């Protein structure tokens, strides 16, 4: 399984994960200028843009820790473009879902909501 396959598997798992939470999934792999949004969903009144990170066993860093400040900035930039494009007026946020696969391929989810709080100067 190469890294692209791992990624696709992860996004599928992510969609199931959020559906199970009761969120409405609005889109997957939405391309915007300069980036891509893995998953878009509604959590109650709030629009959530989700970055999915999947890693199989053997990597040193867990998946959710691979988003650094540069990636965060890129996510905010893509998010703004997307929110603008679909004319969304309400509140929105960016979540991170880390999926770590064990030896048998079972996923372990780690969901970090609202990752921009206190980090990005707007």
Q: Tell me how far apart the alpha carbons of residues 32 and 57 are, in angstroms, rounded to a whole number.
A: 31
Q: Tell me how far apart the alpha carbons of residues 33 and 14 are, in angstroms, rounded to a whole number.
A: 23
Of the candidate residues 22, 34, 45, 69, the single one contacting another protein (CB under 8 A): 45
Residue 122 makes contact with another protein by CB under 8 A: yes
Binding-residue total with another protein (CB under 8 A): 19
Of the candidate residues 88, 102, 105, 108, the single one contacting another protein (CB under 8 A): 88
Q: Provide φ and ψ at 70, rounded to 5°.
A: -70, -45
Q: Tell me how far apart the alpha carbons of residues 25 and 47 are, in angstroms, rounded to a whole number.
A: 10
Binding stretches for another protein (CB under 8 A) = 45-46, 76, 79-80, 83, 88-94, 114, 116-118, 120, 122
């Amino acid at each position: 399984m190469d890294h692209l396959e791992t990624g696709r598997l992860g996004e599928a798992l992510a969609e199931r994960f959020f559906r199970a939470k009761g969120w409405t999934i609005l889109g997957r792999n939405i391309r915007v200028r300069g980036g891509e949004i893995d998953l878009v969903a509604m959590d109650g009144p709030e629009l959530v843009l989700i970055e999915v990170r999947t890693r199989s066993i053997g990597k040193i860093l867990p998946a959710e820790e691979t988003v650094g400040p540069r990636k965060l900035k890129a996510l905010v930039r893509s998010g703004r473009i997307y929110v603008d494009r679909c004319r969304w007026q309400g509140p929105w946020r960016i979540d991170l879902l880390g999926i770590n696969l064990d030896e048998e391929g079972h996923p372990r989810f780690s969901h970090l909501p609202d990752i921009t709080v206190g980090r990005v100067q707007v």
